[in-house]
Amino acid sequence: MTAGPPAVPTPTRATGQQQKGEPMIKSILAALDGSEESIAGLRQAVSWAERLDAELRAVYVQDQRRFVTFPTYSDSEGAVPKAIPLQGAALAEAEAEAAKEEAELRAAYAQAVKGHTVRGEMTVLRGWVESTLVREAHAVDLVVLGKRGRGLDASGTDAGPTTETLIHEALRPVLVVPAGAAGNGRVLLPFDGSRGVQRVVVPGVRLAAAMQATVTVLTLADSKAQGDDIQAPLRAYLKSHGVQADFRVLQGRDTERRTGQLVLEMADEIQAGLIMMGAFSVGPIKEFFVGSVTRTVLNGAHCPVLMMS
């Protein structure tokens, strides 16, 4: 398996240095499935674990669906049929495929940590992928995974279902990594003062401080005065953490989709190495998927996106 050139943040200070007032990130979960995106996420996780002196937990979940079959019928009451474990040759084939993937991932993990000072290990689990990863996420401070998992159409750009599930259910900040992501540059923070974005500010500032990166805060408002007022508490917060920032206000209301495009255009303009934003949907009824602005940014960004719902 070829992992390709690393696309990770370059450490800028000695590991383990904790500046006063910075929120702690001491454990990181890297979710693996063998896809190009998950390997890119692993490289990001290794770099962050090193620079934050955090423990790395790389987890490969062997999907339980591969080892069962489902009847094509339901009973007269419409009950969902139960999974039936594979037997004989079918089970042996599924086990062999899983063992091959495990060997490939262990080799990729060894390559990713080579030359890095990282505490941690790779663990192989078996279960339903989403629920297993959500459970594992509750034991760490930060989750890192690829935007799209193994088996999805290679021509697609939308985030995969496992990624969407973790954003909503992990209860931790989730760093979503696209294939070929660059991890150096400014940090872009689209900020409207909402509850969702306020949640991601705390871990995001920790990462920005570790990158020694300037944060560009982007706010869309009806007027410059309104935008400045929305940004005022954040100015004080970033200053208290010693994070350099510049603040920009774009005036005028726009559609949600166009707002997402404006964020992507700003990310390209400043050559962002990280975007951090909230993941709440915006409608009166909460969707399972992230809101349209967040989805547009998540699907279109060329750099990692830090999200928290």
- Give the chain's domains with CATH numbers: 27-72+81-177 (3.40.50.620), 187-308 (3.40.50.620)
- What does the pLDDT look like over 76-98, one tens digit per residue? 556 666 889 989 999 999 999 99
Per DSSP bridges, beta strands 27-32 and 55-63 are parallel
156 vs 84: which has the higher pLDDT: 84
Residues 28 and 53 sit within 8 Å (Cβ to Cβ): no
* Single pTM value for the model: 0.85
Cβ neighbour number for residue 41 with a 10 Å cutoff: 30
Residue 256 has pLDDT above 60, yes or no: no
- Asked whether 158 and 296 are in contact (CB, 8 A), the reply is no
- Contact criterion met (CB below 8 Å) for 290 and 167: yes
Instruction: Tell me the per-residue pLDDT of 231-249, one tens digit each, with 9 for 90 and over.
Output: 999 999 999 999 999 999 9
> Rounded distance, CA 172 to CA 208, Å?
17
SS3 assignment, position 47: helix
**Residue 197 — very low, low, confident or very high, per pLDDT cuts 50/70/90?**
confident
Instruction: Return the bridge partners of 142, or none.
Output: 28
Mean pLDDT, the chain, integer: 84
Residue pair 62/31 in contact by the 8 Å Cβ criterion: no
Q: Tell me: pLDDT of 123 over 80.
A: yes
Tell me, what DSSP letter sits at residue 244? -
Partnered with residue 146 across adjacent β-strands are 177
